[in-house]
Every structure is written in structure tokens, then in C-alpha cells.
Amino acid sequence: MGLTVDNIVKKYGDKTVVDGLSFEMNEPGVFALLGTNGAGKTTSIRIILGMLAQDGGEVTWDGKKFLAAEKPVGYLAEERGLYPKYKVIDQLVYFCTLRGMNRQGALKTLDYWFERLNVSEYKQKRADQLSKGNQQKIQLIAALAPNPELVVLDEPLSGLDPVNAELFKSVIREQIKQNRYIIMSSHQMATIEEFCKDIVILDKGKTVLKGNLNAIKKGYGRVKLTVKAEGDINRLARECELTVAEDTPNGVSFNVQSEEQAHKLLKMIMDEKIPLIKYELREPTLNEIFIEKAGGDAQ
């Protein structure tokens, strides 16, 4: 049955910061918990992990009350939390023993992770001697070393350069293959599309969209058109009653009402023998859906 979050509510005075959040993770994989800043994501994560008490609803695992202290759980928090003046190895061994590992087993596991994340040279360093990216690697090790069944990743790629971002992604792929249950929260929508099957989008604590990501995108249909050509595309688009949504060096983008409208523009381009470089009719990206659902105040 896995993890079930059922109608959780959190209030601070008269303000409801999480308003009836519900979702299920019935099988291993990656679930995305999304929203703008202040939407209630981190509060929801803390409730799931038992770090905050909810004012309503419940969190269960296999039908029983979920107690993170009794379950192997790994948590990479958005607010990084290493002790700055202590050696990295000492901290990680301590964190592992808190999760029930003995010192010898912890050291063996940590050696693997130091090597895997290319930070072996820092194990005897203090945390404040490491760059932000390397501190992030250490905290990922702290989350994964106890071999958790549930992993929560809050903005895991924030601040990473492209090389280390790809390294983190490769580790996440490994965790998926090992049948982990993973909750990911991120503002990097391309990363969410890469890993997540199911999503929830929160706005001011309320759920504004929930479900299977592929099904959600399919429900919109192919309503986004991008064209790049060596000619006056805008004139032809106006004849097709298409309005420019974005004009960039990579092409002109339109919101289309139907595929027939897009095909009409393509026929006109072909009829006028305009050299065509790019013609892409597609479903909206998660980033575009997210802005539509959670970006109302900014539009």
C-alpha cells in the first residue's frame, strides 16, 4: 500500500497553510510536491515526517500510522543543516548511529558514498571548509547512507553546477532502480518531468492540480506550437488567427486552439516555399502548466 497522505491540514492562528492535502504512493517511484514559495510544500513535508503536528488528517504507511522515527527515512532538507565546526566523517557517523547503524557498518557504508559522490578528500574536513555544493553532497550522503525506504528530497539540485547536478541525478536514478519511495520538491520543472510520474501542485496551501503527469499533459492536447523559419511567419500566423506568445532566437511560439489551426500555418509556409528550420506542435511543459495553475498573481 505504501504511503498515504489523507486530508492533512495545518493552521497558524487564522491562517491555513496546508488545506486538505491528499495523495498516495502505492508503489516505488518519484512523487512531486510542487508549489510557489510559501505554498505549503515544506510544511507538508515536515508533517509527513512527524516534525510538525497537523491540525487534521493523517499520514499512514501500509494502513498504519506513519512514524518516521520507526521507519528508515532519508531527508535532504532545503535548509542545509550540517554542524559547521565538526568534521564531516564524525557528523555522518553520528547521523548513521541515530538511524540504528553501528559504527563499523556506518564507516563501511560511508566509504562507498564518499567515493560515489567524489568527496573522499573532505571526510576529515570541517563542514564550514566545504563549498556549498560539497556540503550538499554530504547531506545527500546523510540522507541515503542508512538505506532508507522513503526518501524526501527538498530542492535537491539547488545551487549545483551542471556536472554535480548530473551526478545527483544519477544517484536518484539508482535509488529508483532500488525501489525507493521518493518525494521530490523542486522549482526545476525539467527535473520533475525527468523523474516524476505523479504530481501535486499547491497554491496558498490548496491543491490546484493533482494526478499522473503524462495524463495531465495529454489532457491539454498539443496546444503549443513553435516555428522557426527564414521568412515572415508572423504575417502568415495572423492570417491563421494565431497570436504570438513568445518570440525568441529559437523560434516563434503560439498557443493554438486546435491542431488544424497549426496544420493550416504549416501548409501556408510550404505553399510560399519559406525555408522551414523548426516546426514543433506539442503538449505544454510542466513549467507552462505550473505557471498557469500557480502563477495567477504574477500574470
User: 222-282 in CATH: which number?
Assistant: 3.30.70.1150
What span, in angstroms and rounded, lies between the C-alpha atoms of 299 and 221? 23
Query: What CATH number does domain 3-212 carry, 3.90.230.10, 2.170.260.10, 1.10.10.10, 3.40.50.300?
Result: 3.40.50.300
Q: Is the predicted pLDDT of residue 198 greater than 90, yes or no?
A: yes
Spell out the domain ranges in the chain. Answer: 3-212, 222-282
Lowest mean pLDDT among 51-65, 208-222, 284-298: 284-298
| Beta strands in the chain, from DSSP E residues, in sequence order | 3-12, 15-25, 29-35, 56-61, 64-65, 73-76, 150-154, 181-185, 198-203, 206-212, 224-229, 244-248, 251-255, 276-282
| pLDDT-above-70 percentage for the chain | 98
For the beta sheet containing 276-282, the strands, ordered from the edge strand earlier in sequence to the opposite edge, are 244-248, 251-255, 224-229, 276-282
Q: Taking 70 as the threshold, does the pLDDT of residue 296 lie above it?
A: no
